[in-house]
Amino acid sequence: MMIRRKKWISFLVVVLVLLFCVPLGSHVRYRKPVIAVVASASGNLGQILVHVLNQYGADARLVDNNRGSVRDYDALVIPGGEDVDPAFYGQANMSSRNLNPNEDRLQMEAVRTFVQAKKPVLGICRGSQIINVALGGTLRQQIDGHMKAMRKVDIWKSSTFRCVLGRDYNGMHYHHQCIDKLADGLISTQADAVDGCLEGFQHQSLPVYGFQWHPEMTESSKRAVFRFFVHICELSESDGTPFH
């Protein structure tokens, strides 16, 4: 009888704490997900993504390519930038420009480390290409019509982000290259509505996502994609359970 009474007292204490110490309608959260955003040598795109991610509840930090351990972060984001050196996917340079193979190498090592740790990874534009090449895929070195252009993208049912973007979306494009062969384990989730160019992918079993277009450049897609990615980081566990 005494044991049962103690259990009820403990239960009432928990209820009272929740009622009086936690504001009504709030969620109990231990901490914000700490997200590493890789600095880019080609501009301030990394800093822009830090601002956007923090706006939607993350603790995003701009990091050098060679600084920090995967243990220090819950997720990795790679921004846009210059072309990936085609030597990394076994091709001669036909139309790639402004190459920085050292930056490529460091970013690909970071991708492999986070993927091995089964932590969330998001790549935007060049970042999506880095993910693909790091995992064994290839690129098309020249396509037309995708530089500084708003283009319609079809979002397929296979996409985790379809629930926030809908069946299609008009996104800002800033690329003259795109993914050719997807790496093993990656599946196509988005394609250009006109020419069929692959515009997005995700891993079939891990929380790894790539956008060839720039969701940070329009208000509605920025809100949808990055708020949802922060939510994925909150829900993903260290064993790599992805949010679907």
Query: pLDDT tens for residues 105-150?
Result: 999 999 999 999 999 999 999 999 999 999 999 998 976 655 567 8
> Which stretches of the chain are DSSP H helices?
2-21, 45-55, 101-116, 126-134, 162-165, 219-235
Residue 88, pLDDT > 70, answer yes
Radius of gyration over every alpha carbon of the chain, rounded to an integer in angstroms: 20
Residue 27 has pLDDT above 70, yes or no: no
Residue 149, C-beta contacts closer than 8 angstroms, at least 6 positions apart:
172, 173
Indicate yes or no: pTM above 0.85. no
Q: Taking 90 as the threshold, does the pLDDT of residue 210 lie above it?
A: yes
Instruction: Report the pLDDT value the prediction gives residue 67, as an integer from 0 to 100.
Output: 59
> Does 219 qualify as catalytic in the annotation?
no
Band (21; pLDDT cuts 50, 70, 90) = very low
Q: Is the pLDDT of residue 206 over 60?
A: yes
The answer for residues whose C-beta is within 8 angstroms of residue 177's C-beta and 6 or more apart is 83, 84, 96, 129, 139, 140, 141, 142, 143
pLDDT at 12: 46
Rounded Cα distance, 11 and 108, in Å = 50
Is 216 marked active-site? yes
Give the chain's domains with CATH numbers. Answer: 33-235 (3.40.50.880)
Report the pLDDT value the prediction gives residue 5, as an integer from 0 to 100. Answer: 55
Annotated catalytic residue, options 146, 173, 203, 214: 214
237 is catalytic: no
Give the per-residue pLDDT at 175.
65
154 neighbors 168 (Cβ within 8 angstroms):
yes
What average pLDDT score do residues 175-201 get? 90
**What whole-number percentage of the chain has pLDDT above 90?**
55
Q: Calculate ∠ Cα 26-30-33, nearest 5°.
A: 105
| Residue 218 structure tokens | 């329009």
Cross-strand pairs, 186:
203
Which residue among the candidates 125, 178, 197, 233 is catalytic per the annotation?
Answer: 125
User: How far apart are the C-alpha atoms of 150 and 152, rounded to whole Å?
Assistant: 7
Indicate the DSSP class of residue 212: S
Q: Is the pLDDT of residue 36 over 70?
A: yes
Average pLDDT over residues 191-212: 92
> 110 exposed, middle or buried (CB, 10 Å; 0-12, 13-18, 19+)?
buried
Confidence of residue 40 (pLDDT cuts 50, 70, 90): confident
Residue 173 near residue 124, CB atoms below 8 Å:
no
Q: State residue 165's pLDDT score.
A: 92
User: Given 103, 199, 216, 234, which residue is catalytic?
Assistant: 216
Residue 7 has pLDDT above 50, yes or no: no
Q: What is the mean pLDDT of residues 167-184?
A: 87
Cβ atoms within 10 Å, residue 80: 26
CB neighbours of residue 164 within 10 Å: 18
pLDDT, position 18: 39
